[in-house]
Amino acid sequence: MKGSLWLAWRQQRVLVGIGAAALVVAAAIAAYYRSGMLDALHSGLFDDCGTGPLHCSRSDTGLPLLLDVEPLKYLGVLNIALPVVIGVFWGAPLLGRDRELGTHRMVLAQSVSRGQWFASRSALATATTIALSGLLAGVFSWWWRPAADRSYGLFWYDVTALSGSGPRVVAAALFGLASGTLLGLLARRVLAAMGLTLLVTGLTTLLLEWAHRTRLLVPPHTYVSAGILPKSPMGEKWSTGTYGLITTGGRHDDVLNCPFPSGAELRECMATHGYVARFYEANPAGDYWTFQWTDTAILGGLAVALTVVTVLLLRRRV
């Protein structure tokens, strides 16, 4: 087993080094830009800005006050792309390269079982994937926290924050590794396995983003304000864009039936149509963790299932 571990290290050390270098660069960039972010926040310029999606403005120009969060978003994009990158460049060749070149026969001929061969290669890849993805997610959260859920920063429901931070980044990276490993075992050529892995991980990522936007897995809450009273502030909530009016019978109608923000016109319209309240649908900021753990369960479950299938197929394919 020690020999197979040494061989696994020899084969994967370049990838480990690239991952470590990427982490160091990301951490250095985060430290630099976060320092500038804190300086801007401590300047007092943003002291009168509250939570909520509405921007506060400069008193002299009227322009919105915004922090530079574009570099932070780039890190979020990197974290979202991790399952694709790891799956294509690490998972697919993990077993596929040995099978394509036939070098696995030499290893198995030296009293190394198929299970040991798989374990030695997957152990290093899995450990590095967990460490790299977990630390990159941590760097994002550390950088993001001073500007989180503020009009001048980045809200929790922005795609780069929701999908580029938290435990779901680790689960997604493990899913990418597991899918690439299985496809590398099934395909006859590593290049074909890489293409299939790109397709599978890319589609899965897009499917989860679609589920976020449609609230398929985490349904929104309904917020009601009686009569013509102003609706409760949106604040940090993630609106679905669904607003409306409620009748005495509880039916929800479109807001365009009474398209008045407030005042006598709204009161008269609601009375005419029998409306007694207004509503809107949104996810509160606390649903960030609901989204996180839902994604983590799905992606982590897929990673485990794909790994089990890989182990079961080893005897037939190797």
pLDDT reported for residue 106: 58
Domain parsing of the chain, residue ranges: 2-217+287-317, 238-283
**Residue 304: CB partners within 8 Å, gap ≥ 6?**
178
Q: What is the pLDDT of residue 259?
A: 85
Cα first-last separation, the chain:
18
CA separation (Å) from 315 to 115, 292, 311?
9, 36, 8
The pLDDT tens digits along the chain (318 residues) read: 566 677 778 888 999 999 999 999 999 999 999 999 999 999 888 887 766 666 677 767 767 888 999 999 999 999 999 999 999 999 999 988 878 756 655 555 566 677 777 888 899 999 999 999 999 999 999 999 999 988 889 999 999 999 999 999 999 999 999 999 999 999 989 999 999 999 999 999 999 999 999 999 999 999 998 777 767 778 899 999 998 999 999 999 998 998 887 778 888 899 999 999 999 999 999 999 999 999 999 999 999 999 999 999 987 755
Question: Which residue, chain included where needed, has tokens 């599978």?
Answer: 200
Phi, psi torsion values for 60, nearest 5 degrees: -85, -35
Tell me the pTM: 0.92
pLDDT attached to residue 6: 76
Please give the pLDDT value at position 218: 98
What does the pLDDT read at residue 100? 73
Q: What local confidence, expressed as pLDDT, does residue 291 receive?
A: 99
What is the residue type of 133? S
Q: In three state form, how does the secondary structure of the chain look?
A: CHHHHHHHHHHHHHHHHHHHHHHHHHHHHHHHHHHHHHHHHHCCCCCCCCCCCCCCECCCCCCECCCCCHHHHHHHHHHHHHHHHHHHHHHHHHHHHHHHHCHHHHHHCCCCCHHHHHHHHHHHHHHHHHHHHHHHHHHHHHHHHHHECCCCCECCCCHHHHCCCCHHHHHHHHHHHHHHHHHHHHCCCHHHHHHHHHHHHHHHHHHHHHHHHHCCCCCCEEEEEECCCCCCCCCCCEEEEEEEEEECCCCEEEHHHCCCCCHHHHHHHHHHHCEEEEEEEEECCCHHHHHHHHHHHHHHHHHHHHHHHHHHHHHHHC
pLDDT for residue 111 = 60
Whole-angstrom distance, CA of residue 43 vs CA of residue 40: 5
Whether the CB-CB separation of 177 and 128 falls below 8 Å is answered with: no
Closest CA to 190 of 102, 63, 289: 102
